[in-house]
Chains A and B, each alone.
Chain A
């Protein structure tokens, strides 16, 4: 029974109590609860660290399955370690953010993702195919990182995590470019898609939010110099780059000059080869 679900659903909590479930406050003292939770998380990190060494081939041992199973077996525990009296206000040596208790549904969804990914990794290891194991491990990493982003101190701001998750969801759609296949430029378009990803355009040129569209811009970048808002890179005639010629685009990217002749802040195209 999830602490998070019980917290938002008094009826469920009552049922849990009725069924003999422990009263959240009685599980232990805040310090002990936080340290227990950290021990659980460290155990998971220990297993992912071990799997990493095995997958990288640094250690040649047939241990993938026991580690994958240990993570899957521990995953349900992660559902059950968010006691009401184990937040920062109760014991300040926790990295758990208050949003865990303020956004219980989103938090629970992330834990569910983690559990599904943990089971997916066991299935991948069963196949014995390295490619599938790596994909399963990446999916597990995404589920861990996705939750750390939003709910762990130093895990950085929520918007980035959301943008990342959205970009990851939207990219496959953006990559399917039916228009390109017809005009004989498919090879160049495909190469451009690879370069757009290699160059990291998507991360900044996609805004956060439920209505985000990959590369349509609008993301706010808070910097010491102020707030930048990234432009729309889709080929809309008025608000995007639809009216730009290739020469204009190439000039903007390589020389930092817009079609209107204004300077634009592109990244440097050439940097001194050896840093001074």
Chain B
């Protein structure tokens, strides 16, 4: 995340009305509860620092990549994880059978059968704005919340950027061979 963005988020959070509410600790299964294990995990999977734009790509694609991969972290639900809880980057956004609350989360790469390859760009931006899919059904559950909390509140330009990034992904089938 950009330093200036993290600072702006800090400024906004500090401007909120303070709420005194202690939150009970996590209850994680063995051995995930040992916080010290996060250090090696981070060494393996976490890269700190800023988003570096890809000079080969245009400004809009880079904005989309920043929104999808960094700020919006779509992959936290849409990318499957390994046993250590790390996202499998080779399966970036190709759907996650074990999503939050035990639900399957769809493939959002432009794969024609398994993903959103048949969607037009305006289908995608309109979905991000309203939650309506091309078939007239409405996003429910977690994605319904994401549309009303996040993507529906973005500027049209940011939704276009997300669409540009997603439509440019490698189309991946929902199940990788040998996985």
Please tell me if B118 contacts chain A, counting CB pairs below 8 Å.
Answer: no
Please tell me if B17 contacts chain A, counting CB pairs below 8 Å.
Answer: yes
Residues of A within 8 A of B47 (CB): 268-272
Looking across the interface, which residue of chain A has its beta carbon closest to that of B81? A224
Please tell me if B71 contacts chain A, counting CB pairs below 8 Å.
Answer: yes
Using an 8 Å CB-CB cutoff, how does the interface string of B86-108 with A read, 1 for contact, 0 for none? 00011110000010111100000
Residue pair A227, B18 in contact (C-beta under 8 Å): no
Q: A138-B129, A271-B69 are in contact. Are A167 and B149 (CB under 8 A)?
A: yes
Q: A49-B136, A148-B138, A174-B16 are in contact. Are A225 and B46 (CB under 8 A)?
A: no
At the interface with chain B, which of A32-40, A122-130, A249-257? Answer: A249-257
Looking across the interface, which residue of chain B has its beta carbon closest to that of A179? B15
Please tell me if A120 contacts chain B, counting CB pairs below 8 Å.
Answer: no
Please tell me if B112 contacts chain A, counting CB pairs below 8 Å.
Answer: no
State in angstroms the CA–CA spacing of A232 and B102 once bound together.
Answer: 24
Residues of A within 8 A of B69 (CB): 271
Residue pair B21, A148 in contact (C-beta under 8 Å): no
Q: A197-B150, A199-B71, A222-B102 are in contact. Are A163 and B10 (CB under 8 A)?
A: no
Using an 8 Å CB-CB cutoff, how does the interface string of B143-156 with A read, 1 for contact, 0 for none? 01110111011100
Please tell me if A196 contacts chain B, counting CB pairs below 8 Å.
Answer: yes
| Cβ-defined partner of A271 (8 Å) among B81, B89, B150 | B89
Residues of A within 8 A of B73 (CB): 199-200, 267
Residue pair B9, A253 in contact (C-beta under 8 Å): yes
Residue pair A138, B6 in contact (C-beta under 8 Å): no
Residue pair A275, B21 in contact (C-beta under 8 Å): no
**Least Cβ–Cβ distance between B147 and chain A, in angstroms:** 8
| Cβ-defined partner of B18 (8 Å) among A198, A228, A236 | A236
Name A's B-contacting residues (CB within 8 A): 44-50, 52-53, 55-58, 134, 137-138, 141-142, 144-146, 148-149, 152, 155-157, 159-161, 163-164, 167-168, 171, 174, 177, 179-180, 185, 188-203, 213, 215-218, 221-242, 244, 246, 249-250, 253-256, 262-265, 267-273, 275-276
